[in-house]
Every structure is written in structure tokens, then in C-alpha cells.
């Protein structure tokens, strides 16, 4: 199963986050760090549309800010750490409980994860159990069939795309689209260099 958590960073519960942070670090022993994390996840949000509309005069115009009721900033210095802390118990549950009971392998990167099973008969059960577990921490398994799908790797031509790699019975390879993108970028850089050197002459 190739799966995705819908709107993961935008829907992380602040209350649950701080409970998990409190288990990892003591507020009494680390009040500054605890307070910093709480402030980080609660920082106001400026919508991209508002920024784009006023980007030339952004410093002269007070941007419209939205109070962040849930979710954490994407790309922030602590975002990846907080996201992993938030899903740590979920990861342990999949690996230790489901993994031992149903003989599965699990790997996750941010909001994308893959569940591999030899016995496909139980995959729908696993999908439902994962959905219910995510519901319990106020997250949603993506319902879009392009985002969450069950793939039979025994079928000819089947594969799973995960963090830039294509996984199939033949092995693990870099996605073809990434190779094409790299070649195009390299060609563009070479052409720019050649043009620059030609102008110097």
C-alpha cells in the first residue's frame, strides 16, 4: 500500500503535539525549549495569496495574518522534528503491533508511507486499521486513489513511487521523471556555460 496523510502539516493538532512534547522533554526542566516549541507551532500564518498580491510593497503594508488553530509551518527549522515526534507512536504501533501480527514492512517519510505485505488478503484490513488510528490523532488517510492506493507488485509492470525512487520486483530505481528532469537541468547549465564562454571570446 502506497499511502499519504491528507494535509498533514496543516492539520497537526497543537494540543496533541504539546502532550507528546511534554513526554519527550519536561516543561519544568526545559521551560525555554518547551515555550519555544509552543510558540513555533502557534505562529500566525500569512496566506501566500496575500503575500503575492503585496510582495513589492510588503514591508509597507501590514499583511493579513491568520491565527493558526492547528498545523505547523512547512519548511520551518523544527517542522520535520515535530512531525516525526507527532507520528512516533503511530510508527511504533504499525511496526510493533501490526508488523508482528500481520507480517508487514513499513517505511515513512513525512506524510508519505509504504506498507509492504506478502499476503495481500489482509491489506484492506490494514488500511482500515491505519485509517482508524490516524483518526484518533485527528489526521486523515488520503481518500484520493492517486494518493492512497493498493498495488500488487506481483503484477507485471507494477511499481511504487516513494521519495523519488521507483520500487518494483526488479529492484529499486530512481524515478524516470527525476532522471529526465536532471538531464534537462544539466543540459540547461551546460548551454548557459557555453553561451557565457562564447560571449567572453
DSSP secondary structure letters along 146-178: TTSB---TTSTT--EEETTEEEETTEEEE-HHH
**Mean pLDDT, rounded, for 39-68:** 67
Q: Which of 58, 102, 59, 109 is nearest to 83 (CA)?
A: 109
**Residue 90: predicted pLDDT:** 97
Cα gap 153→2, rounded to integer Å: 11
Confidence of residue 84 (pLDDT cuts 50, 70, 90): very high
**Residue 134: predicted pLDDT:** 97
- Is pLDDT of 14 > 60? yes
Prediction pTM value: 0.78
Radius of gyration of the chain (CA): 22
Cβ(94)–Cβ(106) below 8 Å: yes
Lowest mean pLDDT among 29-38, 126-135, 162-171, 192-201: 192-201
**Residue 98: predicted pLDDT:** 92
State the residue for C-alpha cell 506481483.
Answer: 154
**Mean pLDDT, rounded, for 6-31:** 91
- Is pLDDT of 183 > 80? yes
- Is pLDDT of 67 > 70? yes
Amino acid at each position: 500500500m502506497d499511502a499519504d496523510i491528507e494535509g498533514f502539516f496543516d492539520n497537526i493538532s497543537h494540543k496533541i503535539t504539546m502532550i507528546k512534547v511534554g513526554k519527550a522533554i519536561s516543561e519544568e526542566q526545559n521551560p525555554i525549549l518547551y515555550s519555544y516549541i509552543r510558540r513555533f507551532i502557534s505562529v500566525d500564518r500569512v496566506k501566500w495569496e496575500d503575500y503575492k498580491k503585496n510582495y513589492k510593497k510588503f514591508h509597507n503594508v501590514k499583511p493579513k495574518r491568520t491565527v493558526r488553530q492547528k498545523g505547523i509551518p512547512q519548511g520551518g527549522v523544527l517542522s520535520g522534528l515535530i512531525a516525526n515526534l507527532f507520528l512516533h507512536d503511530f510508527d511504533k504501533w504499525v511496526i510493533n503491533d501490526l508488523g508482528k501480527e500481520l507480517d508487514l514492512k513499513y517505511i515513512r517519510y513525512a506524510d508519505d508511507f509504504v506498507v509492504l505485505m506478502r499476503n495481500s488478503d489482509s491489506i484492506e484490513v490494514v488500511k482500515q486499521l491505519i485509517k482508524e488510528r490516524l483518526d484518533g490523532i485527528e489526521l486523515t488517510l488520503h481518500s484520493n486513489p492517486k494518493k492512497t492506493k493498493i498495488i500488487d507488485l506481483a503484477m507485471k509492470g507494477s511499481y511504487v513511487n516513494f521519495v523519488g525512487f521507483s520500487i518494483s520486483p526488479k529492484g529499486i530505481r530512481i524515478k524516470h521523471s527525476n532522471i529526465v528532469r536532471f538531464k534537462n537541468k544539466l543540459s540547461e547549465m551546460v548551454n548557459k556555460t557555453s553561451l557565457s564562454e562564447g560571449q567572453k571570446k
